[in-house]
Amino acid sequence: MNLLKRRLSCVVMAIIVLLTASCVPAENKKEDKLNVTVTTTMLYDLARQIGGKYVNVQGLMGSGVDPHQYRASAGDIVKMQRADVVVYNGLHLEGKMGDVFASLEDYGKTVICAADGIDESMLIKHDGVYDPHIWFDVSLWKLAAKEVANGLSKADPDNAAHYAENFEVYDKQLTELDKYIRKRAEELDENQRVLITAHDAFSYFGKAYGFKVMGIQGVSTAAEAGTADVIALAQFIADNRIKAVFVETSLPVKAIEALCEAVRARGFETSLGGSLYSDSLGDETNGTNTYIGAFRHNTDTVIDGLKGDDEIE
C-alpha cells in the first residue's frame, strides 16, 4: 500500500515538474527568447520596445481592429496558453474577452495587466466606469511601460537588467513625445482647443493636454437622443467656429460627415480634419505602426486641422 502511494506521489511530482517546466521560461533555456502574447497593437509595440531582442511578441488584434468588440478565437486561447507571458490593457478595454486572463493566471501563467501600473486616482471615470484609453496620456503610458518591464523581469529574471535598461531608453523617448505634444498644442489659442471625434476615446488626451473633448457616440446611447445630441454639437461647432472635426481609423466616417452637414446648415463650414488612430495603431507605410509614430501623427493632424491654415502636410 505504502509502495503504491509512493509511486503515485512520484507520478504526481513528475507531472507537476513537467507542468512547471512548461510554464516557466526556465533559466536553462538561455538561448530561447521569452514568448509574449499581447492583445492590442499599442501593447504589441510596447512589449517590443521593452522586451527588445529577448522576446518574441505575438499580437492577437491587427491594425484597425476595435478592441471593445474583439472576441478571442480558439486559436487566440491556444496562443495565450503557449506563451510565457500574456499582456493585456485591462479596465475592460478587452471587454468581450471575459475572464480568460484570470483563468490563465490561475494556471500559473505570468499575466501582465498594463493598467495595474496606474493608480486609480489618476484614472478618469464615466458613469462609475473607468475609461480604458490610458495610452492617450503619455505620463500614464509610461506607468504602463513600467508595469510591463516589471512583469517581464519577473518572468525572466536573467534578463531583468536589459528590460530595465530598455525601459529607461523608452521612457526618455516618451518624455520627448510628451514635450512635442505640449509644444504643438501651444500653437492653438485656448478656445481653439476643442477635439471632436466619432467616439469618446480622447478624454485622457483632453485632460493631459488641455483640450475640451467631445464624441458623437460617447454622448448618447439611444438613437433618438443621438440625433438631438448631434444637432446640439453642430450648434456648438457653429457658435464657436471650430474649424475641424476628426475621423477615427477604426470607426465609420458616416456619423462625422452627418455632423459636418448639420454644421453647414447652421451657416458655418467645418472640415474633416483627417483620420486619428484611436484604439489601434496604423501601419509601416506612414510610420504609424509605433505608439510614438501614431501619437505624433494624431497631434499634427489635430493641431493642423484646428488651425485650419495652409500648413497641412
Q: Which residues bind Zn ion (CB under 5 A)?
A: 201, 279
Q: What is the spatial distance between Cα 285 and Cα 269, in angstroms, rounded to a whole number?
A: 32
Rounded to a whole number of angstroms, the minimum distance from the CB of residue 132 to Zn ion is: 7
Query: What cell was used for 52?
Result: 527588445
Residue by residue, DSSP assigns the chain as -HHHHHHHHHHHHHHHHHHHHHHS--TT-TTSPEEEEESSHHHHHHHHHHHGGGEEEEESS-TT--GGG----HHHHHHHHH-SEEEE--TTTTGGGTTHHHHHHHTT-EEEEGGGGS-GGGS-EETTEE---GGGSHHHHHHHHHHHHHHHHHH-GGGHHHHHHHHHHHHHHHHHHHHHHHHHHTTS-GGG-EEEESSS--HHHHHHHT-EEEETTTT-SSHHHHHHHHHHHHHHHHHHT--EEEEETTS-SHHHHHHHHHHHTTT---EEEEEE--SS---GGGTTTSHHHHHHHHHHHHHHHHHTSTT--
Q: Which residue, 50 or 138, is less far from Zn ion as judged by CB?
A: 138
Q: Shortest distance, CB of residue 199 to Zn ion, whole angstroms?
A: 6
| Minimum CB–partner distance for residue 123 and Zn ion (Å) | 15
Q: Which of 167, 277 has the CB closer to Zn ion? A: 277
> Smallest distance from the beta carbon of 61 to Zn ion, in angstroms?
12
Residues 167/145, Cβ–Cβ less than 8 Å: yes
Nearest-approach distance from CB 254 to Zn ion, in angstroms: 18
Question: 20 or 69: whose CB is closer to Zn ion?
Answer: 69
For residue 133, the minimal CB distance to Zn ion (Å) is: 6
CB-nearer residue toward Zn ion: 200 or 229? 200
Judged by beta carbon, residue 42 or residue 148, the one nearer Zn ion is 42
Taking the complex as a whole, the smallest distance from the CB of residue 250 to Zn ion amounts, in Å, to 8
Closest to Zn ion by CB, 155 or 213: 213
Q: Give the nearer residue to Zn ion in terms of CB position, either 95 or 98.
A: 95
